[in-house]
Amino acid sequence: MPEHADKKKRLSVYLDPDLMLLLADYADRRGKSRSLVAEAAIASFLTPDADERQEAAMTRRLDRIDRTIKRLERDNGIANEAFAIFMRSWLTATPAPPDAAAQAQGGERYDRFLEALGRRLVRGPRLRQEVPGDSDRA
What does each of the 138 residues of the chain score in pLDDT, given as a tens digit?
A: 555 667 888 889 899 999 999 999 999 999 999 999 999 888 877 877 777 888 888 999 999 999 999 999 988 888 887 887 787 788 778 777 677 777 777 778 778 877 887 887 788 777 667 777 655 444
User: What global pTM score does this model have?
Assistant: 0.41
* Structure confidence at residue 137 (pLDDT): 46
Rounded CA-CA distance 82/105 in Å is 24
55-75: burial string, b at 16+ Cβ within 10 Å, e else:
eeeeeeeeeeeeeeeeeeeeb
